[in-house]
Amino acid sequence: MEFILAILYLTFFIRTVRNLAYHLAWWWIKEYRIDRMLVHVRETSQGRRWMFGPFSTLKTFLIIIFLLVPGRLTIMNVDGFTLAVTALYSYETIRNFIELRRRWKIPPVTVRSMSLVIISSVTLIFIFLSVPIDSVAFSLLLTDKTLGFVVVGWVFISNRIFNLHKRRVIEEARRKISRYPGLRVIAVTGSYGKTTTKEIIAQLLSSKYRVAKSFGTKNTDIGIAERILQSNLNSIDYFVCEVGAYHPGEIKSALSIFGDKIHRAVITGINEQHQSLFGSLETTMRVKYEVVQSMNKDGTAVFNGESSHMKQVITWAKNDKKRALVVMSGDTRLPRHIHASHFRQNLALASSMAKSCGLKEAEMKNALKTLALPPKTMHETSSRGVTSIDDTFNANPESVYAALDYLKQKKGVKILVLQPLIELGKYADEIHEKIGSRAAEVCDYIILTNENWHKPIMRGVSKAKKTKAKIQFAGRLPHLEQGTILFEGKEAEKYLPDFVL
């Protein structure tokens, strides 16, 4: 019996460490937002498994059996319930070790994430020790079932504490910005292409002006405020700022940090991204338009004229007497070292913005020679006849369509490793069916990193005009001697180690 208990404790510890890290990693990905996590639980297979997966259901069943069935089965002088729970945790632990081949999902090491790890662990230990029933297996099982609720509770409390910290940081950033009356701010938003366009604008302007910019994809109010406090703004001419939102008012609130310094605004495009939160494309358009409303009276807004949902936004700008530049990619030529043609629109927007800020054609041409895209954005490497395209920085409908169009130009076997898209709301089935159809006409293999929306993807594959694609869920990449592998979405990144150049 002591041996069985030792295995029970060990396996429970391993899988609880993994599960705690997994839960907190998802909370970090969702920015500790309750609204985004609710969408995750409601719309994705990973989220539903937390509540209704086979292991969760089996554990609930075992708890009910323990409480309702008088007496317990004894097998070879061992408590049958303890043996069943030990077997369950042993099986989960084996699966967790297999999962380690692609790395566990863990949160980054930050003060907040580590605080949540410690306080959640202490709470779970307290729950285990407080269970009044004299059964180690039952106590561990009950503790296990409370893990998700414990994490939710502490995230909720941490959000309250974090909001106090956020208000203080934002106020400090607002005071700092007020000390630089000559600073001009360029705000970039849109459903897609924000980071790439922001980076190109900053690089072009840096050839003539002193420029600071927001960091990576940290485009919320707190991310912008922290970047302001970290930046040396002395003698800076332009601050290029990416700003995002999930609800009305968030862009306007974030940009209020800059007061009347919003000199230029860019809307890169509008599509179905985050419809689970916005609810409608009309709401998306109005939210993105907040960046134009935040400009000062002398400001200029730059719009992507090729975005199908931009027409109404441009009309609003004209009705509000805003100075507007509507940009088409037209004859925009990419530098030779950037091959994917869909970046022409990003460059067209950035070039128009830079010219409106005083950059001359010769200065622009010189800056383009060293133009660099953000990491993990259509980053292409080749060796021994095999090409890898790392596009794991982010994924949305437009970027996936464009990447598939680029993949179509490649020779040899073509493989798509795809993380199904998230937060598309009522458009999810339609978009994934379209992705499936377009991918099937291009690819020999389609590898999905999870089971989300696999039915519409497979339906799209079956409707493709011409297809030879084979679909698989997870697993190892097919052996490839000549051809191209396209990695789309953050989850696809875990497959990159399988690709050895």
- Which CATH number is 483's domain given? 3.90.190.20
CB 251 within 8 A of CB 173: no
Q: Is residue 174 in a domain?
A: no
If one counts the domains in the chain, the total is: 3
A 10 A CB-CB count for 93 gives 18
Q: How far apart are CA 90 and CA 137, in angstroms?
A: 13
**22 and 56: one domain?**
yes
CB 418 within 8 A of CB 489: yes
**264 and 143: one domain?**
no
**pLDDT tens sequence across 72-105:** 555 444 577 888 899 999 999 999 998 887 788 8
Beta bridge partners of 483: 386, 413
Give the per-residue pLDDT at 342: 85
The dihedrals phi and psi of 384, each to the nearest 5 degrees, come to 55, 40
**282 and 211: one domain?**
yes
Instruction: Tell me 479's DSSP state.
Output: P
**155 and 198: one domain?**
no
**348 and 253: one domain?**
yes
CB 346 within 8 A of CB 203: no
Domain boundary among 349, 368, 387: 368
**45 and 23: one domain?**
yes
Which pair of tokens denotes residue 45? 């297979």
Q: How many CA atoms lie within 13 A of 187 on its CB side?
A: 34
**47 and 195: one domain?**
no
Nearest to 345 by CA among 380, 297, 310: 310
Does residue 381 carry a pLDDT above 70? yes
Instruction: Tell me 476's DSSP state.
Output: P
Q: Is residue 172 in a domain?
A: no
Q: Is residue 167 in a domain?
A: no
Q: Is residue 374 in a domain?
A: no
Start-to-end C-alpha separation, the chain: 51
Q: Is residue 325 in a domain?
A: yes
**pLDDT tens sequence across 137-174:** 999 999 999 999 999 999 999 999 999 999 999 999 99
Residues contacting 167, CB < 8 A, separation 6+: none
Give the per-residue pLDDT at 10: 95
**386 and 325: one domain?**
no
Domain boundary among 91, 125, 160: 160
A 10 A CB-CB count for 463 gives 13
Q: Is residue 290 in a domain?
A: yes
**134 and 206: one domain?**
no
Q: How far apart are CA 447 and CA 416, in angstroms?
A: 6
**pTM recorded for the entire structure:** 0.89
The pLDDT of 115-130, averaged and rounded, is: 96
CA angle 440/446/451 to nearest 5° reads 115
3-state helix, strand, coil in the chain (%, to 5): 55, 15, 35
**Domain, as residue range, for 403:** 379-498
**pLDDT tens sequence across 326-362:** 999 987 888 888 888 889 999 999 999 999 999 998 8
Give the per-residue pLDDT at 76: 44
| Beta strands 74-75; 78-79: pairing state | antiparallel
A 10 A CB-CB count for 481 gives 9
For residue 213, give the CATH number of its domain. Answer: 3.40.1190.10
Q: How far apart are CA 436 and CA 456, in angstroms?
A: 7
| Beta strands 300-304; 323-327: pairing state | parallel
Domain boundary among 311, 341, 368: 368
**40 and 117: one domain?**
yes
Average pLDDT, the chain: 91
CB 398 within 8 A of CB 193: yes
Instruction: Tell me 193's DSSP state.
Output: -
**292 and 337: one domain?**
yes
**pLDDT tens sequence across 54-63:** 888 899 988 8
Q: How far apart are CA 130 and CA 123, in angstroms?
A: 10
**345 and 429: one domain?**
no
Give the per-residue pLDDT at 472: 87
Q: How far apart are CA 282 and CA 270, in angstroms?
A: 10
Q: Is residue 173 in a domain?
A: no
Q: Is residue 165 in a domain?
A: no
